[in-house]
Amino acid sequence: MAFQWNNGLCPSAVEAIGQTPLVELSRLVAHAGLSGRILAKVEYLNPGLSKKDRVARQMIEDAEGQGLLRPRQTVVELTSGNTGTGLAILCAVKGYHFVAVMSAGNSVERVRMMAALGAEVILVDQAKPARAGEVSGADLRLVEQEAHRITLERGAFRADQFLLEGNFRAHYLHTGPEILAQAGCVIDGFCDFVGSGGSFAGCSAAFKERNPATFCCLVEPERAAILAGQPVTRPQHPIQGGGYSMARLAALQAHPPDAYLQVSGQEAARAAQDLARLEGLFAGYSSGANLAAAKEMLATTHPGATLVVLLNDSGLKYLSTDLWPTRLGCETFFLDSPSI
């Protein structure tokens, strides 16, 4: 099912998903002393504050159209929080009970948001050694085992973002074409931090249909770049939502990248902080990873190019993490007047 976007009055939050703005990051590029352009798709302006709202909608509505999801059936999925939030929105509107299975290492904001939207959230203890805010492939395997068990136990529909084609279709049918329509120019390259691989594969396929020369670069955490064929020496890292040492992702098999780039947690954090300070856009770790990769491309292989990135989720989902220290080099003033 390829759903239509609503440009008028929305009958529910579901129809408010998509048609997010594309913003040129000219101040950030100039501050870095680079030539070229970075265009950012502000996906955190979806109702669930991330790009995964699109995936949740496509998977649920595809399943409904194919008769795989029964009325009032329970829906289960493992999540780092973003897909779970999107599914919580879809299930709240459509009347399904949603169970989000999540590693205890993910940020608490995500847990609270899903619970507020009516989801049943099951937290799975991390593998040892563990550090809050840093989720490893071993942690995700424990979450997968629990999600599989609950799906069987409850006779649920598994909204499997790693396997269902709806993940790819959401971005191939919608995100990519939206960007092409909004950009109004040739897109030379695309950088995307990979979690389940749907946004990379879907957008890449849409871009390459328009211009086969579009250079599509897959972004992974430094020292956890198994998709690039590198040994994993730091399975725990702060860039939540990806880098889980999963060597096979269904969406990438038919849409392999042109290149791989690795970004450290520190580089991702610095880029996200610069984005907020210079462009007024408040995004999370993986968005920072995308920006850091795009800046690297402009500085090395693609000077003067026009590159596209996704701002995957909101910085509000990371207030309890190290991404936003209490002081970022700016003074904070407190006004005493109660009239202000």
Distance, CA of 331 to chain centre = 31
- Tell me the C-alpha distance between 79 and 101, whole Å: 6
The H-assigned helical ranges of the chain are 26-31, 52-65, 82-94, 108-116, 137-154, 166-170, 176-183, 198-210, 250-253, 265-279, 285-299
Whole-number Å distance between alpha carbons of 187 and 234: 33
Tokens representing 158 are: 């598994």
Which one of the listed residues 41, 50, 51, 52 is annotated catalytic? 52
Is residue 52 annotated as a catalytic residue, yes or no? yes
DSSP letter, residue 62: H
Token digits for 111?
A: 């847990």
Q: Which of 286, 295, 314, 317 is catalytic?
A: 286
Q: How many CB atoms lie within 10 A of CB 154?
A: 14
Distance CA 158, CA 79 (A): 12
Catalytic residue annotation? 52, 286
